[in-house]
């Protein structure tokens, strides 16, 4: 059976992890939530670094843990960490200081078994670390060490890759350097990734599937586009509430350095990122950058104005604000307005309106 079935119940003083998840066998699943929500604990249970007394874990048909049945007397089934075909990337790379980069990578090969899913040469190329192979860890930047750590995890030929906030210890410049390499892993490898983060930007850029954790429980799980559009989650996202859409580059305006991207339901003008015509890209639209009108506006600086339908209204984190979920063709959109504006416009589910989009971020 393809996919990951993860069911864990773990009670500690002051904290309970209680999750029941069915996750996809491909792509990046982001485990998102604030500090203390249980993200790392869940990842450690999956890795076998923490044993939940009641747990059931199946990865693509292979049972890694099964002792979740009340009254089970034989201790259940438990695969120790060193027997689980996984790679684990921590916040800090934790490289062996006495070994070169190549020595660290070859150490990882000692644990690999069977036919490699990723060759060492492929891992080196994917992470762009060929110029670093002769260096020792103390000669590397933080971003370079993380890239080496990722390559070492891939050298284990994992059937599952776990990443625990791999960018958390890096400054903004180093994060921007390493994100394209993470996108390459996403695009070129057929290895499911569980990616822990509390950064909405990272989630929007990398994830295909989203699990939102709060106080040790999964309060939402599903495809990224659908889950981000839910109005009961903005308390977790705050000012970063919005949607992510897949689009295709359809046209380029070289005079104004703009590109038009098409998505199911319409098209948008965005800053030209140099992508080829026909290329699939990912765009992010924040709720704060969407306003609503009853008729198409003229004489405005807003370039993107699309016909939409009101699907749902909900309160926001402040009583003065309202969130409105819209549908544009087959795609979701979220707008943040004041309650006074929503009432003044007479917004109600099923109502035809125009969505004015002030800013669109091209994120991949």
Q: What are the domain boundaries of the chain? A: 4-237, 242-362
The predicted structure's pLDDT at residue 362: 84
For the 4-237 domain, the top CATH level (class) is alpha beta
Q: Which H or E run contains 243?
A: strand 242-253
The predicted structure's pLDDT at residue 363: 84
The predicted structure's pLDDT at residue 71: 46
The predicted structure's pLDDT at residue 293: 95
How many Å apart are CA 355 and CA 334, to the nearest integer? 9
Beta bridge partners of 17: 10
Look-up of token digits 């981000």 = 228
Helix pair angle (172-188, 142-154), 10° resolution: 20
The predicted structure's pLDDT at residue 32: 94
Rg (alpha carbons) of the chain, rounded to whole number: 23
Q: Which residues of the chain have pLDDT under 50?
A: 70-71, 73
Task: Encode pLDDT of 178-237 as tens digits.
Answer: 999 998 888 888 899 999 998 888 999 999 999 999 999 999 999 999 998 888 876 567
Q: Which H or E run contains 292?
A: strand 290-293
Q: Max Cα separation, the chain?
A: 74
SS3 132: helix
The predicted structure's pLDDT at residue 62: 93
Beta bridge partners of 353: 308
SS3 189: coil
DSSP structure class, residue 257: T
Task: Encode pLDDT of 225-279 as tens digits.
Answer: 999 888 887 656 778 889 999 999 999 999 999 999 999 989 999 999 899 999 9
The predicted structure's pLDDT at residue 73: 46
How many Å apart are CA 183 and CA 247, to the nearest integer? 16
The predicted structure's pLDDT at residue 299: 80
Q: How many helices (H) and strands (E) does the chain have?
A: 9, 21
SS3 192: coil
Among residues 15, 28, 8, 362, the alpha carbon closest in space to that of 196 is found at 28
Tell me which of 3.40.50.970, 2.40.50.100, 2.40.110.10, 1.10.3720.10 is the CATH number of domain 242-362. Answer: 2.40.50.100
């Amino acid at each position: 059976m393809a996919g990951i079935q993860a069911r864990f119940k773990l009670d500690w003083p002051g904290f309970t992890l209680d999750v029941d998840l069915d996750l996809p066998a491909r792509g990046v699943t982001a485990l998102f939530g604030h500090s203390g929500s249980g993200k790392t604990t869940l990842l450690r249970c999956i890795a076998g670094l923490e044993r939940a007394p009641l747990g059931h874990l199946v990865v693509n048909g292979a049972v890694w843990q099964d002792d979740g049945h009340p009254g089970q007397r034989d201790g259940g089934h438990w695969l120790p960490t060193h027997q689980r075909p996984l790679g684990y990337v921590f916040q800090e790379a934790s490289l062996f200081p006495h070994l070169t980069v190549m020595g660290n990578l070859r150490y990882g090969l000692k644990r690999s078994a069977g036919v490699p899913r990723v060759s060492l040469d492929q891992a080196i190329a994917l992470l762009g670390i060929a110029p670093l192979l002769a260096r020792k860890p103390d000669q590397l930047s933080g971003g370079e060490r993380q890239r080496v750590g990722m390559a070492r995890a891939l050298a284990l030929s994992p059937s599952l890759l776990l990443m625990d906030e791999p960018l958390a210890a890096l400054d903004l410049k180093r994060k921007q350097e390493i994100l394209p390499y993470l996108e390459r892993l996403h695009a070129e490898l057929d290895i499911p990734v569980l990616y822990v983060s509390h950064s909405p930007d990272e989630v929007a850029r990398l994830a295909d599937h989203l699990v939102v954790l709060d106080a040790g429980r999964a309060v939402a799980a599903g495809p990224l586009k659908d889950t981000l559009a839910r109005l009961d989650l903005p308390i977790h996202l705050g000012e970063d509430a919005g949607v992510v859409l897949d689009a295709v580059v359809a046209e380029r305006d070289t005079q104004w350095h703009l590109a038009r991207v098409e998505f199911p339901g319409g098209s948008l003008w965005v800053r030209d990122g140099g992508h080829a015509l026909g290329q699939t890209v990912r765009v992010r639209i924040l709720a704060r950058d969407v306003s609503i009108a009853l008729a198409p506006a003229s004489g405005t600086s807003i370039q993107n104005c699309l016909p939409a339908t009101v699907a749902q209204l909900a309160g926001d984190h402040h009583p003065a604000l309202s969130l409105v979920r819209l549908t544009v063709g087959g795609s979701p959109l979220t707008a943040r307005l004041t309650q006074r504006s929503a009432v003044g416009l007479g917004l109600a589910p099923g109502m035809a309106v125009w969505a004015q989009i002030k800013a669109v971020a091209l994120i991949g």
